[in-house]
Each structure stands twice: as C-alpha cells, then as structure tokens.
Amino acid sequence: MKYDMDQLIAIMTRLRNPDSGCPWDVEQTFSSIAPHTIEEAYEVADAIEHNDMAALKDELGDLLFQVVFHAQMASEHGAFDFADVVTNVSEKMIRRHPHVFGDTLIDSPEAQTRAWEDIKAEERALKDDQAGDLDGSALSGVISALPALIRAQKLQKRAARVGFDWPEARQVIDKINEEIGEIEAEMTSSPDPQRLEDELGDLLFVCVNLARKLGIEAETALRHGNAKFERRFRHMEASAVGRGIEFSSLDLDEMEKLWVQAKTGD
C-alpha cells in the first residue's frame, strides 16, 4: 500500500491527540524533538556515506517525519502548518533560481553560487529590517547551534564575501604553522589550560579556512578522516587477534607496525 503526505499528516495528528494519541508523542515539545531532528539528519548523511539506498530511504522517511512533527506542533500553537512549510520553501526555491523560473541568465555553477549567495544576503537584510535588527554584520544569521566545523566555514565564507580573506591557500598554511608555533610555545612554558584551548581553537579555525580555500567541506573531510581511522584501527585489532594476541597488551612500537600495515592495506 502506498501512503501520501495527507495520510502521513493524519497519522501525526492522531499520534498527537491528547485523548487517544501516544503519550510520548503528546508530551513532546520543539525543544525535546530538536535533538532527534539533528540525529536523523546525520543518519541520512551516514546512509549516503555508505551508499546504502535501503537505509537512505528509511532515514529520509524518519527525517520527513521530523518535519511533519514540528509542523503539527506549530499548527497546534496556531503558528503555521505543513502546507505553510511547503509553500514557504517552494516560494524560496523559485525566488533563488531566477535563471530557471525567470529570465535571468546564468551560465555556470560558479555564477549560480554567487547569485544564490547574493539573493540570500538580500533576504537576510530584508528579514533584519523587518525584525528591527540594525546589526548589519556580514555574519548575521549564522546560527550558533551548528556543529563547530560547519559554523566556522560559514563564518569564513561570509567574511570572505566582504573581502576579509587570504588571496591564496599557501598563506593559510603559513598561518597554520604560526598557530602551531604558538601552541608549542604555550606547552613549553607553564601551560595554562585556557590558553591552550584558545590556541588550539585558533589552529582548528585556520585549518577550516584551508579547507574552504581548497574547495573542501571541513565537516565532510573530518567525517572521512574519522572513517579512515576507524577502518585502520579495526584492521589493527583484527591483525592482533589473528595472531592470538590481545591488542591492548601490545606496546606502542608494536601497535605502530600494525598501523603501518593497515595503511598499506587501504
């Protein structure tokens, strides 16, 4: 049996019915559901990472249900409903693609990216004006709840749009070396945990800047790095077990040999 959006919304409405619905669903709020929404988005990304189409279908359904859940709660508050969400995003996509739905001519992906960012900047300025927000900063609207790597890259993109940027990636590498030197200097003095945290934060921020200059998403790069480390570490453990040795009993030199073997097998 195939279900449609109206049926899914009806299911959500029944689940939230205070008299006959699910007690857990009924007691949820925007705040309590938000962590689940974030988790579902990451599970979608994980399914894509593993090229698992069956899992992707399942996880996209879970993420869609999160949207319906939030829309249902908003409807109960008289704020908006699911149809308003659909209308809003449809209007936004038409507005942000004037080369598709209008007469604007855009001849390359790069030009489209610039146009997209220009339109978003105009939308932010209008929203700030309507809200009475006279901040006017190029960084306005970069939400603080984003994962740190993603937020760092967004902040840097915004700063670059108004000219605050290194011309070349090589200059970012020089800055990385400078930041490493500052960490080393702090470590050789009387280390102050807060100072070390600040210096490490600076180093990570500049590393994100290098990713941006190279056209790489820092969050994606780190996800791949995590996956590579996990794959190699599991290979090390399996190698030790295959030799009848408990991995944790090996000394660091022996572990390093297994690490080199795992790298070779990649």
Give residue limits of the domains in the chain.
Answer: 5-96, 137-216, 221-265
Residue type, 69: F
pLDDT at 235: 95
Whole-angstrom Cα distance, residue 213 to residue 207? 10
Residue of 230, 41, 71 whose CA lies nearest to 147: 41
pLDDT at 134: 55
Residues 6+ apart with CB under 8 A from 204: 148, 149, 152
Domains 5-96 and 137-216 share a fold: yes
Residues 6+ apart with CB under 8 A from 37: 63, 66, 70
**The two structure tokens encoding residue 175:** 């800055």
Whole-angstrom Cα distance, residue 195 to residue 187? 10
Tell me how far CA of residue 49 lies from CA of 55, 72, 79, 226, in angstroms.
Answer: 11, 31, 36, 12
Q: What is the pTM of this model?
A: 0.69
CATH 1.10.287.1080 fits 5-96, yes or no: yes
pLDDT at 130: 62
Each of the 266 residues of the chain gets a pLDDT tens digit; together they read 899 999 999 999 999 999 999 999 999 999 999 999 999 999 999 999 889 999 999 999 999 999 999 999 999 999 999 999 999 999 999 998 888 898 888 878 878 878 777 777 777 777 766 655 556 788 888 888 888 999 999 999 999 989 999 999 999 999 999 999 999 999 987 788 999 999 999 999 999 999 999 999 999 999 999 999 999 999 999 999 999 999 999 999 999 999 999 998 77
**The two structure tokens encoding residue 15:** 């689940």
CATH superfamily label, 137-216: MazG-like (1.10.287.1080)
Do residues 239 and 258 touch, judged by C-beta distance below 8 A? yes
Whole-angstrom Cα distance, residue 142 to residue 147? 11
pLDDT at 181: 95
